[in-house]
A = this chain, B = another copy of it.
């Protein structure tokens, strides 16, 4: 299958590209490399040293003989998008190419506006390009479990059958997201649903949980293929950041009570889910929605897990309940469905001590690249 990966240089995008290539698909990357620029803006970097995109691609070609075309440009530029679609003629478009950090979107007004415009306009342009150049192609779009917020009822996969005053309808699941970033994904979902409905496009909206781990078989084949490993207060996410803190002798920073419960997924399952979604395209006119995570954890549970494994490895690890920079419930009901990807054949990697050990070792091997001043989540919601 000809698969175009938008955002193919990023944390989820790059391992997905290599996984899809290994599975025999013809893959091309679109990226404007802005994720690397945000590290420069924030004065931080991945724990793992990551090679330039050209070196990543050249290394892969040297190892496997597979060429991966790279289109360097911005999805907000429709001339560029048009050129890519005309040239590559994708059958499936995997769309990771969005600003994906909630704290980044909450830095200030300019970052909120940038996040929403970048994500919404990029996705609108992709929808118009599919319609214009490859109307039968299938859009596999990364959303987020954060779109749902933390409702007091069970979270279904995208839609909810509602009975009201004796009548029934199946409706888009009502959304209550916790940041301007998460809101941008809600906006995207509504736009995509509409484009499917009026133009007959095919789309799958993947509401992904929080991704942990950085290691995939393909990325480990050569140091120049390594994936990025974010630990800073803006782009670092719960489990990976805890591992970085543990190896640095820094207390694990739990926001508030830590009762915040979320869906989590191993990056080795992310890449599999993407292929499953691509291989099972939605029907024309349909926007499928899958909740792409494998387990629910509270933040405190994860911190305790990392603490235990790190202590077993001989590290002295403390825990610190820091003031929560976000506005969110710290104790709440949370029960989210996630059966559709399992039905398609996903065999989940559930979180094991071994995975945490690998992450701790990976961080420890590059401890000199960790700046503990980057740990605190300084962006405040209020």
Contact = CB atoms under 8 A, between A and B. Distances in A.
Given A128-B109, A327-B197, A168 B153 contact: yes
A190 interface: yes
B165 A162 contact: no
A110 to B, nearest CB: 8
Nearest to A184: B187
A117 B160 CA distance: 29
Contacts of A154: 164-165, 167
Contacts of A333: 167
Interface stretch (A54-62, A119-127, A209-217, A254-262): A119-127
Interface stretch (A20-28, A34-42, A172-180, A275-283): A172-180
A128 B160 CA distance: 33
Interface residues of A, number: 47
Contact of A180 (B117, B167, B173, B191): B191
Contacts of A121: 113, 116-117
A160 to B, nearest CB: 7
Interface string A113-152: 1001100110011001000000000000000000000011
A169 interface: yes
A199 interface: yes
B167 A171 contact: no
A4 B317 CA distance: 55
A113 B109 contact: no
A112 interface: yes
A78 interface: yes
B171 A172 contact: no
Contacts of A153: 162-165, 167-169
A373 interface: no
A263 to B, nearest CB: 18
A171 B156 CA distance: 14
Contact of A151 (B151, B171, B176): B171
B164 A177 contact: no
A302 to B, nearest CB: 24
Given A109-B124, A128-B109, A194-B180, A174 B162 contact: yes
Given A153-B164, A171-B174, A179-B194, 18 more contacts: A78-B109, A109-B128, A112-B124, A116-B121, A116-B191, A117-B120, A124-B180, A151-B169, A152-B168, A153-B162, A172-B175, A174-B174, A175-B190, A180-B191, A183-B191, A183-B194, A197-B327, A199-B382
Closest 9 CB pairs of A and B: A171-B174, A152-B169, A153-B164, A109-B128, A198-B327, A187-B187, A153-B167, A172-B174, A153-B169
23 contacts: A109-B125, A109-B128, A112-B128, A116-B187, A117-B117, A120-B120, A120-B187, A151-B169, A152-B167, A152-B168, A154-B164, A160-B174, A167-B333, A171-B176, A173-B174, A174-B174, A175-B190, A177-B190, A177-B194, A186-B187, A186-B190, A198-B327, A198-B381
